[in-house]
Amino acid sequence: MFLAMVGLGSSTALAAPTSPTVVDVSLSFSAPASKAAGEAFDVTVTITPAATHCFETVGIYIDISPDTAILGKTVLNGFTILTGSEESTSSAYGVTLYAPSTQIAAVDVLKFTITSNTAGTLSGITVNGSGVNKSAAYCGGDIGYLAGVNFSTTITGNTVSGKVVEDLVEPYGQEDVGDLALAGATIEFFERPSGTSVDSATTGANGLYSIVLPNIATYDYVVTFPTNDPPYLPTTGVGTNTGSVTMITGGVSGLNFYAKSTTKATAEFGNLTANLEATGETAT
Is residue 224 exposed (0-12), middle (13-18) or buried (19+ Cβ within 10 Å)? middle
Q: Is 17 part of a structural domain of the chain? A: no
Please check whether residues 41 and 111 belong to one and the same domain.
yes
Considering 99, 119, 139, which residue would you say is the last residue of a domain?
A: 139
- The whole-angstrom separation of Cα 157 and Cα 154 is 10
Q: Is 225 part of a structural domain of the chain? A: yes
Cβ(187)–Cβ(76) under 8 Å?
Answer: no
Question: Which structural domain range is residue 50 located in?
Answer: 24-139
Considering 104, 139, 174, which residue would you say is the last residue of a domain?
A: 139
Q: Is 161 part of a structural domain of the chain? A: yes
- Quick check: bond before 230 cis, omega within 30? yes
Q: What is the pTM of this model?
A: 0.61
Q: What is the pLDDT along the chain (284 residues), one digit of tens a residue?
A: 222 222 222 222 223 333 334 455 555 555 555 567 777 778 888 887 766 566 777 778 887 777 778 888 999 999 998 877 788 877 788 888 888 877 778 889 888 888 877 766 666 677 765 444 334 444 444 443 333 333 333 334 577 778 888 887 777 777 778 888 999 999 998 888 899 999 999 999 999 998 888 877 777 888 888 887 778 877 765 455 776 666 655 555 567 777 877 765 444 333 333 333 333 333 33
Please check whether residues 112 and 155 belong to one and the same domain.
no
Is residue 88 exposed (0-12), middle (13-18) or buried (19+ Cβ within 10 Å)? middle
* CATH code (residue 242): 2.60.40.10
Q: Is 114 part of a structural domain of the chain? A: yes
Cα 62 to chain centroid distance, Å, stands at 14
Please check whether residues 154 and 135 belong to one and the same domain.
no
Q: Is 94 part of a structural domain of the chain? A: yes
Please check whether residues 61 and 97 belong to one and the same domain.
yes
Cα 122 to chain centroid distance, Å, stands at 28
* CATH code (residue 83): 2.60.40.680
Please check whether residues 109 and 198 belong to one and the same domain.
no
- Total structural domains in the chain? 2
